[in-house]
């Protein structure tokens, strides 16, 4: 799960400042690496491992000039997290094109073996973006390459859709313009915006609307499933519907990934989480259990905890204090390292637990490491009862579209009923949202007709082309990534 932003500024402008402002706004989508490619009179790049503020320094601003730019923050799902895999990628020849994406190519290994293998083309990285870039650039080149017209981009996007499977929202630049496309099923988010300054009109495409907000752009609209955008030298946005598949945006974006101040497909993530909390509050009421307080696991569960508490007529309290300087726990090499770092990350406030029946609310339970630790800490702090609540349903199936969810074997809910999960996590009771309530809650918050990709909960993959081999390949990548 990554984040991107691409900018087409007025002639003579420099897009780099907006790109960096945008990348900082979506740092939550990837803290592993960051990169920017700009175009003034040629491509200039700066990429590196680490956070945006660590990778970019003032000296790079002088070099990264130009009115066209694309930037990326990485959360590795394919590849071993090496610096050769840091996006954006670009080619100077046979066509000048730079590209970044968010998502996962499910037939990456297959393409590497067949489409590229048979032509004796060796990929230079383990990043699946490389196959999208080559297929796209190859099609552009066969169209003549220069100058790029909207129909050339349409043909290239169609070629990508025909060959490359999975979920991938893509942004990029050529020397003449900016392009973007959303994957055939619209699983990954992508939104287009515009602003006018004395210098002229600026266009931006980003993963989340919050990027546009903070960089001063007004939201124009989300791209639809299978839709592309090209803005060339005429500076007019050209939208073309290339695919014809149903729109199935990822529901986990609303649960965990996106910032609460983002709108995805015209649905407020904040409103969605509020509604998810209300629904879970009502579900808790139906259990007949009594509680004294709702305590969120920071950060994502905060919004839902407030409404859950409201419904239950209970206080919502900050029982855990998060140290935001401890890095990501989720992809630590083993469970012991993960547990230690969760403890270092979240420290309790005894007064909120002592002698109380507490509801500890998290957005999701994956391997159960966080929940197990939270329950243990709550008991150490003297809680009388610990009820664990998740405002999403049990996670049971690996995400093959770019969210690092772990492999099937690691899901705590796999093969266990709720009582067994509670026992396994040491809780007095475990309450999950149902799939129906989750979908209905997110719909209530925005576009009432949206259908979602909910494969990680229900096991139905909207692309309908997932093979056992793809699952095995992706699981192997994950294991390799967490071992290195
Ligand atoms: P676990 O400790 O393995 O059960 O993971 C659950 C915790 O990780 C929750 O607190 C979530 O907020 C967080 N989480 C859920 N999904 C992801 C993900 N794909 N990447 C990183 N963190 C996640």
User: How far is the centre of ligand 1, averaged over its atoms, from the C-alpha of 262 (Å)?
Assistant: 20
CA–centroid distance, 370 to ligand 1, in Å, is 8
Residues with Cβ within 8 Å of residue 372, at least 6 apart in sequence = 339, 424, 425, 426
Confirm or reject: Cβ of 403 under 6 Å from ligand 1.
yes
- 305: CA distance to ligand 1 center in Å? 17
Query: Does 299 sit behind a cis peptide bond, omega within 30 degrees of 0 on the bond before it?
Result: yes
Tell me what pLDDT residue 288 has.
98
Q: From the CA of 369, how far away is ligand 1's center (Å)? A: 9
- Other C-beta atoms closer than 10 Å to the C-beta of 354 total 12
Alpha carbon 184 to its chain's center: 17
| Nearest Cα residue to atom 22 of ligand 1 | 330
Determine the pLDDT at residue 329.
Answer: 65
Distance, CA 256 to ligand 1 centroid (Å)?
A: 8
200's tokens: 């002229």
Q: 394: Cβ below 6 Å to ligand 1?
A: no
**Cα torsion angle, 132, 136, 141, 146, sign:** negative
Q: How crowded is the C-beta side of 97, counted as CA atoms within 13 Å?
A: 27
Residue 146: exposed, middle, or buried by beta-carbon count in 10 A (0-12, 13-18, 19+)? middle
CATH 3.40.50.2020 in the chain, residues? 269-446
Ligand 1 contact, 32 CB (< 6 A) = no
- Which is nearest to 133 in space by CA: 109, 104, 162, 157? 157
The whole-number pLDDT of residue 483 equals 40
Fold of 269-446: Rossmann fold (3.40.50)
DSSP helix/strand/coil, 223: coil
For ligand 1, whether the C-beta of 370 sits within 6 Å is yes
Bridge partners, residue 181, by sequence: 170, 228
Give the pLDDT of residue 484: 30
Is the beta carbon of 330 within 6 A of some atom in ligand 1?
A: yes
Positions annotated as catalytic residues are: 2
pLDDT on residue 330: 60
Ligand 1 binding pocket includes 133 (Cβ within 6 Å): no
Name the token pair of 372. 């197990």
Residue from 297, 324, 366 whose mutation best tests the ligand 1 pocket (most atoms within 8 A of CB): 366
Residue with tokens 């993530």: 269
- Angle at CA of residue 380, ends 374 and 381, nearest 5°: 90
CATH 3.60.20.10, the chain: domain bounds: 3-248
Backbone angles phi, psi at 392, to 5 degrees: -120, 160
What is the reported pTM? Answer: 0.94
* Protein fold of 3-248: 3.60.20
Query: How wide is the angle at C-alpha 223 spanned by C-alphas 219 and 228, nearest 5°?
Result: 125
Indicate the helix (H) or strand (E) that contains 265.
none
- Going residue by residue through the chain, which has 484 residues, state the pLDDT in tens, using 9 for 90 and above: 799 999 999 999 999 999 999 999 999 999 999 999 999 999 999 999 999 999 999 999 999 999 999 999 998 655 556 788 899 999 999 899 999 999 999 999 889 989 888 888 888 888 999 999 999 999 999 998 678 999 999 999 999 999 999 999 999 999 999 999 999 999 999 999 999 999 999 999 999 999 999 999 999 999 999 999 999 999 999 999 999 999 999 999 999 999 999 999 999 999 999 999 999 999 999 999 999 999 999 999 999 999 999 999 999 999 999 998 876 666 565 667 777 788 889 999 999 999 999 999 999 999 999 999 999 999 999 999 999 999 999 999 999 998 877 666 689 999 999 999 999 999 999 999 999 999 999 999 998 889 999 999 999 999 999 888 777 777 777 666 554 3
pLDDT value for 334: 64
390 within ligand 1 shell (Cβ under 6 A): no
Phi–psi pair at 442, nearest 5 degrees: -70, -40
């Amino acid at each position: 799960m990554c984040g991107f932003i691409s900018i087409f500024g007025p002639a003579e402008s420099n897009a780099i400042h907006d790109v960096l402002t945008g990348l900082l706004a979506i740092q939550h989508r990837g803290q592993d690496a960051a990169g920017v490619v700009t175009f003034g009179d040629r491509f200039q790049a700066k990429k590196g491992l680490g956070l945006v503020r660590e990778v970019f320094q003032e000296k790079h601003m002088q070099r990264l000039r130009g009115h066209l730019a694309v930037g990326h923050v990485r959360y590795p799902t394919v590849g071993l997290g090496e610096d050769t895999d840091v996006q954006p990628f670009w080619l100077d020849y046979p066509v000048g094109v730079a590209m970044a994406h968010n998502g996962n190519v499910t037939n990456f290994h297959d393409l590497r073996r067949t489409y590229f293998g048979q032509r004796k083309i060796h990929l230079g990285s383990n990043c699946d973006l490389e196959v999208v870039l080559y297929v796209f650039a190859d099609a552009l080149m066969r169209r003549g390459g220069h100058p790029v017209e909207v129909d050339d981009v349409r043909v290239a996007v169609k070629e990508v859709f025909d060959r490359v499977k999975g979920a991938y929202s893509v942004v990029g630049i050529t020397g003449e313009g900016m392009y973007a496309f959303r994957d055939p099923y619209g699983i990954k988010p992508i939104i287009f915006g515009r602003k006018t300054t004395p210098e002229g009109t600026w266009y931006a495409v980003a993963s989340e609307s919050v990027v546009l907000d903070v960089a001063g752009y007004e939201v124009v609209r989300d791209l639809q499933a299978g839709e592309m955008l090209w803005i060339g030298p005429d500076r007019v946005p050209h939208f073309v519907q290339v695919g014809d598949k149903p729109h199935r945006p990822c529901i986990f974006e609303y649960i965990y990934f996106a910032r609460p101040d983002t709108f995805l497909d015209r649905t407020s993530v904040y409103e969605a989480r509020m509604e998810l909390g209300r629904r879970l509050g009502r579900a808790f009421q139906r259990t007949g259990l009594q509680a004294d307080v709702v305590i969120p696991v920071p950060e994502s569960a905060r919004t839902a905890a407030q409404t859950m508490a409201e419904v239950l007529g209970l206080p919502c309290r900050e029982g855990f204090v998060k140290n935001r300087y401890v890095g990501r726990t989720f992809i630590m090499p083993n469970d012991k390292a993960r547990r230690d770092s969760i403890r270092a990350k979240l420290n309790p406030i005894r007064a909120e637990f002592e002698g109380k029946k507490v509801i500890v609310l998290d957005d999701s339970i994956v391997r159960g490491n966080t929940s197990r630790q939270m329950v243990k800490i709550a008991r150490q702090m003297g809680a009388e009862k610990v009820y664990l609540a998740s405002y999403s349903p049990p996670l049971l199936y690996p995400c093959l579209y770019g969210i690092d969810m772990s492999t099937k074997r690691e899901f705590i809910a796999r093969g266990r009923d709720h009582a067994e999960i509670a026992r396994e996590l040491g809780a007095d009771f475990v309450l999950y949202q149902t799939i129906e309530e989750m979908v209905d809650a997110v719909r209530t918050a925005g576009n009432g007709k949206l259908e979602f990709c909910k494969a990680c909960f229900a096991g139905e993959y909207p692309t309908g082309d997932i093979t056992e081999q793809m699952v095995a390949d992706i699981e192997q990548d994950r294991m390799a990534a967490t071992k290195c």
